[in-house]
Chains A and B, each alone.
Chain A
Amino acid sequence: MAARLHFLSQDAELLARIRGGDEEALVTLYALSRKPVVAMVVRNNGTTTDADDILQDALIVLWERVRSGRYEHTAKLETFIYATAQNMWRRKLARLRKERPTDLADDSLIAGDPSALDLLIESEEAALISNALNRLGEPCRTLLLLFYWEEASMDEIAHRMGFSNAETAKSKKYQCKKALQAILKNLEPIHD
């Protein structure tokens, strides 16, 4: 019981840190989750490098969900991370056309199904847009990141970026999207 309370308390603290934008919380979770994730990946035709890569991706999914308010704390954070990493590795194996290991269960009940957006992120088109975004100057790059990645509201964006109000931020966002489209039109497909 005491151990259970300890984990709940630890999870609550880590979630609060993530909501507050503390990226060091991910480092803590990385240390806590690495061993089982490495074991899972290595057991299923992967390497420790693959495991580290997948674990970082899973931590970022957690970060996005918590920050956007879409995370539901139904299991221990470590369990969520493991399940997310497992699903990611399963999809990666499928992409590589390797045989799907029988013991690699689908933990979408815990980790949740990837959204259409999640699936598109790995696409070449997304890589092209990412490349264009990196060529976009400030404050457009930050503004679009705040809006699409951190899913901040226009009020929050206006506050964080020093715009007078949400309408000004909205207007700026429209200009930034136009500027990005202009870059995309002249951009050759380059992988980031």
Chain B
Amino acid sequence: MTEYSTQHPALDPEQVEQYVLGRLTPTEQQAFDTHLQLCAQCRRTVDAELLLAAGVRRTGRNALKKRLAASVEERPAVPWPRIVAVAAAIVIIAGLGIIRLWINREQATPPLPMENPPSVTEHRTGKEEIQDKLSGSGQPSPQEPKGTKADRTSIPSREEAKKSKEQFAAPKDEALNVDDARRALAKNEVQAPAPAAGATVVGSAAGLWTEGTLFEAEPSPKTAERPIAAEVKRGDLETAHEKRVLKAVSQVQGILLHQQPSRALTQHQRSQQTAGRQTILTYAEQVGEQIRLTLYPDTLFAPGDLERAAVSQPADDSLLIRVGHQSIGYRLPQGFLQQQTRK
């Protein structure tokens, strides 16, 4: 044990340093403390050494604190791994949401305008309600024509539904005389309207339900069976016949054909189809700068046939679609195509 006497001329500077830095053993420290109680000069020496150590440490702390503050400012408060994890989770959730919305949009069955709209609880399944909730997050679906929020969320009254049907659905007593259209087209008697000069889709984005009448197509000139894309691309057609067809096709360029099995329709919607006739319920809507027709046939067309389908417009309010060996005639509300395309 180290003995400290009051008779010493001065404390060992190294012992003082060790004491200040807390490096003495407990026994040594106790002896040192005892000595300090008896030696005022020694206490002053120790106090000076303590201040020196404190001042040096203050310098070190300040320097480290500055470096730490600078590093913290450069880096976010949350560690990168956590940020990356959160960002990844957001991306995954958003991706799943987009996929679900897309699936919902593709599979959703738009409601028919109905004379007697059922209450929500009468005809809606749980799946439909979930689909509606999902589609309610922003992306409009065929079930949900664009409009104000109030428009989308309110249940249409009987009058509104009737008005909607009158506006969008082809009146049954004025159904397209597809036989006349077919004959006219086959005989090149249809005087197609002037070609659109850069058909630009504008106007109401609301879609509409319509019925297409299905019939077996008669053999027609080759040009009439050309795929839409090929017709649109060909600008050097010279014969009057081809030109006329080209005009007709050009008039309705930008029409996209989709199909869903009719079983995707609700029972109520299927019941809306005209009985006793071969019809295809179809939903027409604006998608971007194009008009998309979603056909709901009982039997799906072969994908190749649909891709090669030719669309013509025998009259202002009529569309004729040749798909494989079949044709579908539509009577659209007067001005619908003009609303969608600006000549």
Partners in one complex: yes
Chain A residues close to B by CB (< 8 Å): 23-24, 26-28, 30-32, 34, 52, 56-57, 59-60, 63-64, 70, 115-117, 120-123, 125-130, 132-134, 141, 144-145, 147-151, 174, 177, 180, 192
Q: CB-CB < 8 A to A134: which residues of B?
A: 59
**CB of B38 within 8 A of chain A?**
no
Chain B residues close to A by CB (< 8 Å): 13, 17, 20-22, 50-62, 64-65, 67-69, 71-72, 75-79
Find the B residue at minimum CB distance from A133: B59
Inter-subunit contact A148/B64 (CB<8 Å): no
Inter-subunit contact B50/A31 (CB<8 Å): no
A127 to B58, CA, bound (A): 7
Q: A115-B22, A117-B50 are in contact. Are A149 and B59 (CB under 8 A)?
A: yes
A30 to B20, CA, bound (A): 30
A150 to B21, CA, bound (A): 11
Judged by DSSP, the binding face of A is: helix
Q: CB-CB < 8 A to B71: which residues of A?
A: 23-24, 26-27
Inter-subunit contact B59/A130 (CB<8 Å): yes
3 shortest interchain CB distances as A-B pairs: A129-B55, A149-B60, A120-B54
Inter-subunit contact B68/A133 (CB<8 Å): no
Find the A residue at minimum CB distance from B22: A115
Q: CB-CB < 8 A to B50: which residues of A?
A: 116-117, 120
The contact sample of 5 A-B pairs, CB cut-off 8 A, is A57-B65, A125-B51, A129-B56, A133-B56, A141-B59
A128 to B54, CA, bound (A): 10
Q: CB-CB < 8 A to A144: which residues of B?
A: 56
A101 to chain B, nearest CB (A): 25
Q: CB-CB < 8 A to B55: which residues of A?
A: 125-130, 132-133
B66 to chain A, nearest CB (A): 9
Inter-subunit contact B22/A70 (CB<8 Å): yes
Inter-subunit contact A28/B79 (CB<8 Å): yes
B26 to chain A, nearest CB (A): 14
Q: CB-CB < 8 A to B75: which residues of A?
A: 27, 31
B282 to chain A, nearest CB (A): 57
A148 to B51, CA, bound (A): 11
Q: CB-CB < 8 A to B21: which residues of A?
A: 148, 151
Q: A23-B67, A31-B77, A115-B22 are in contact. Are A121 and B72 (CB under 8 A)?
A: no
Inter-subunit contact A121/B52 (CB<8 Å): no
A177 to B20, CA, bound (A): 15
A150 to B56, CA, bound (A): 10
A27 to B75, CA, bound (A): 8
Inter-subunit contact B65/A60 (CB<8 Å): yes
B32 to chain A, nearest CB (A): 13
Q: CB-CB < 8 A to A147: which residues of B?
A: 17, 56
A129 to B21, CA, bound (A): 17
A32 to B75, CA, bound (A): 13
Inter-subunit contact A117/B54 (CB<8 Å): yes
Q: CB-CB < 8 A to A120: which residues of B?
A: 50-51, 54
Q: CB-CB < 8 A to A125: which residues of B?
A: 51, 54-55
Q: CB-CB < 8 A to B68: which residues of A?
A: 23, 26-27, 30, 56, 59-60
A149 to B22, CA, bound (A): 12
Q: CB-CB < 8 A to A148: which residues of B?
A: 21, 52-53, 56-57, 60
A30 to B73, CA, bound (A): 11
B25 to chain A, nearest CB (A): 14
